[in-house]
Structure 1
Amino acid sequence: MMMRRTVVVGAAGTGKTTLARELTGRTGGRLTDLDLLFWGPGWSRRPAEDFRADVRRLAADEYWVVAGSYLPQVADVLWPRAELVVWLDLPRRVSFSRVVRRTVRQLVGAEEVLPGCYQSLRAVWRDGLLGSAWRDPARFRDAVPEAMDHPSCRQLQLVRLRSAGQVRRWLRTQVADGRTTT
């Protein structure tokens, strides 16, 4: 099956953006990180209507790879148009440690995380980044199957990857020249 529209979901630190970049390079689709559509400068949240409108325009395209979850906000818009959902369900110890390392690196390096958004202790605390990174793996175990059960998602194929090794093997063995045998 040709991968034309793929959503990569998972908790923070699971490697959604990294995997989506790899898939985009192999399929020629357009990569969109939902964080770029959700957050404005200074970590301001864009209005929900604007976020959903941007996702609707994206979903209307023929070829894309989307990294990001935002299930309650946009799964009803994005998933009915998708063909494949890749769920990165890595162990909490892996994803949480990645979030901690990434956050420290961003703080120390004063990195621009998103356009106009710099990591700060205030942002980490205010947005509850570490708390959500700790809780989200368990939340996704309910949310993803629930979203997949929706009648508008019957066309979706789901690939659930539970370790970094599974991700590498899936890329190596299942994805070649933009095709997958999920």
Structure 2
Amino acid sequence: MRRILIVGSAGAGKSTLAREVARRLGLPLIHLDRHYWRAGWIPAADGDFRSEVAALAARPCWVMDGNYGGTLDLRLPRADLLVLCDPPRLLCLARVLRRRWVHRATPRPDLPAGCPERIDLQFLRYVWRYPARSRPRIIAALAAAEPRPAFLRLRTRADIRAFLATLPAEPPPARRPRP
């Protein structure tokens, strides 16, 4: 596995899982939120973001986390594995509230500078509606992808532990350049 795409609701654990998978496999980590948002929560222009995502997806290896359904067509054909983090929505809601509290004074590592953690009613609605609205779109995009990556759906902590158990516990040793 050289290109792993991790998607799921806010609060599903995408970024945490992506960091651990990237560490264990020694792969570059790409948080799409860092590429989409500008300081002050200003979104990137659609065309610019699609171009940037296409360039990121074209890299030879990565672990990439983020939904951004408008770019799944660029990422899925390049991915070896799609991981859907899919815990219950009440757990996702609890996690986003906890995350807001934890990062009330410090920036999140998966967000760009100038984007402090925030929660509003629209965001909470997005989390609540994710299973009915966003998850089916991801499944449909996966079905339409050509080539289609392998698919793994993680619903529980036990699922996550089982997946991580298939990966090395430590990253591979750094390769030395050949003379």
Shorter-chain-normalised TM-score: which range? 0.7 to 0.9
1:119 aligned residue: 117
2:50 aligned residue: 52
- TM-score, length basis structure 1: 0.85
Aligned partner of residue 160 in structure 1, secondary structure: strand
Any conservation in 1 of the 2:8–2:135 contact (CA below 8 Å)? no
| Aligned counterparts of 1:140 and 1:153: Cα–Cα separation in 2 | 22
Question: 1:150/1:45 Cα in 2 relative to 1: closer, same or farther (>3 Å)?
Answer: same
* Unaligned residue ranges in structure 2 (runs of 5+): 172-179
**RMSD over aligned Cα atoms:** 1.7
1:81 aligned residue: 78
Structure 2 residue 87 is matched with structure 1 residue 93? no
2:157 aligned residue: 164
Count of equivalent residues:
167
Provide, for residues 37-96 of structure 1, a one-character-per-residue CA deviation record: whole Å limited to 9, x for no partner: 11100000111111111111111110100011111x100111111110011111111111
Identity of aligned residues (%): 38
Any conservation in 2 of the 1:100–1:130 contact (CA below 8 Å)? no
1:138 aligned residue: 132
Q: Which contiguous aligned blocks of 4+ residues in structure 1 show a shift greater than 3 angstroms?
A: none
What does 1:13-92 align with in structure 2 at a 5 Å threshold? 13-71=11-69, 73-92=70-89
Question: 1:130/1:94 Cα in 2 relative to 1: closer, same or farther (>3 Å)?
Answer: same
Any conservation in 2 of the 1:10–1:137 contact (CA below 8 Å)? no
Deviation at 1:151, TM superposition (A): 4.2
* Unaligned residue ranges in structure 1 (runs of 5+): none
1:12 aligned residue: 10
> Which amino acid letter does the alignment assign opposite residue 32 of structure 1?
I
> Which amino acid letter does the alignment assign opposite residue 84 of structure 2?
W
Any conservation in 1 of the 2:73–2:145 contact (CA below 8 Å)? no
Aligned partner of residue 77 in structure 2, secondary structure: coil
Deviation at 1:139, TM superposition (A): 2.3
Deviation at 1:105, TM superposition (A): 3.0
Aligned partner of residue 146 in structure 2, secondary structure: helix
| Aligned counterparts of 2:168 and 2:41: Cα–Cα separation in 1 | 37
